[in-house]
Amino acid sequence: MNTRNVPFSLLIKPASADCNLRCEYCFYLDRCRIYPDSNIHRISDDTLERLISSYMATQQPQYIFGWQGGEPTLMGVDFFCRVVELQQKYGRPGAEVANGLQTNATLITDEMAELFVEYNFLLGVSLDGPEEIHNKYRRIKGGGGTHADVMNSIECLKKHNVEFNILTLVSAANVGRVGDVYSYLVDNGLYFQQYIPCVELGKNGDLLPFSITGAQWGQFLCGIFDLWKRNDRRRVSVRFFDDVLRVVLDDKRDICRLGNDCRRYFVVEHNGDVYPCDFFVYPELKLGNIADDAWESLWDSTLFIDFGKRKNEWNSDCNDCEWCAICNGDCLKHRMPGGCGDPRRLSCLCEGWKMFFDHAMPTFKEIADKIRRERRRITSEQEKTHAAVPGRNDLCPCGSGKKYKKCCIRK
């Protein structure tokens, strides 16, 4: 398969796993062990230019750059100015570029916000709820909480009209406080929300203390769904609800979790090393390096192809599940903890997904039916409007028998 015909995006780690926080539940911090030669990891200008120039030489409907970490704002505002400069340098006329940035939002400055709004960056801001919830795990190196800094940065982003979403990690700190979390976000005018389950396993395979169970995840999702359905269907966007609705309505799968092949993007580390997935940055899954390998060869590599195929190598019980067509066995992270094992293991969140789909799917189908009816109505009105305004060489609808452009009515 040629990458010139297959859209893919990039998830880039310009500062690797380096971060100014020490969130207890962070799964990426220990990736620094892969690069032990230095305590500070930053992408070089040469690597950045090679990354952007080579990616924008491929044929894409849209060039999508995701900047993550660790904490990508450690790079500073000058770095992102350079990113935009290189994108403009190597982008062909008419090329569409999208930049997304996931941040802990403790280092946002006015200057940075001004750049983000000027060049249409979409930010994901990590916020787990009210102060006592957020500060449970999201703490600085010395142990202090970060909630106040995050809320100050959110006000900065609002002041400069930067587009941003809220990413809430659902952990032991907030899984039992659905109403508190949802109300806090809505009351603060944070209407674009994304909820991610915190599932991390220890060496013995047991859930770590901050993680949640499948049942807890299902109960949390159902609780958020009920609050959203009751009050906010036209006001609040919950990313996963939007994704499920697109599947029900058009069988369009915008996120890899709901797809049947994990090959949607490449992870690029600070030194140009390439991996298949954010959750699977392990030495044994390194695909290559942008200094040595073309995107076509990375896409066609046996390692990447085999990784993608694992998604639909699900447990035999999935074949009898009515929701398998929606979830496709769930994310490999929840089936292959630690990046290894048999992908045919049931997702540790399976119980929760079933609970949620049983609860919410009738409403999703109802919404999808309403949208289809509205689409048909609009199409019908457009057809009527088109029929009422003939082309220049059509017969005039007045019945004169003359062509529309010469009709007496037009005179």
- What positions carry a catalytic annotation? 278
| Residue tagged 């970060």 (tokens) | 146
Q: Count CB neighbours of 150 within 10 A.
A: 24
How far from chain centre, in Å, is Cα 37?
31
Which secondary structure element, helix H or strand E, spans residue 375, and what is its range? helix 350-388
Which secondary structure element, helix H or strand E, spans residue 103, and what is its range? strand 97-103
DSSP states of 189-245: T--EEEEEE---B-TTSPBPTT---HHHHHHHHHHHHHHHHHH-TTT-EEHHHHHHH
Q: Indicate the SS3 state at residue 65.
A: strand
Assess contact for 327 and 275: CB atoms under 8 A.
Answer: no
Environment class of 296 (CB within 10 Å of its CB; exposed 0-12, middle 13-18, buried 19+): middle
Query: How does strand 163-170 pair with strand 192-197?
Result: parallel
d(Cα 296, Cα 9) in Å, to the nearest integer? Answer: 13
- The secondary structure of the chain in percent helix, strand, coil, rounded to multiples of 5, reads 45, 15, 40
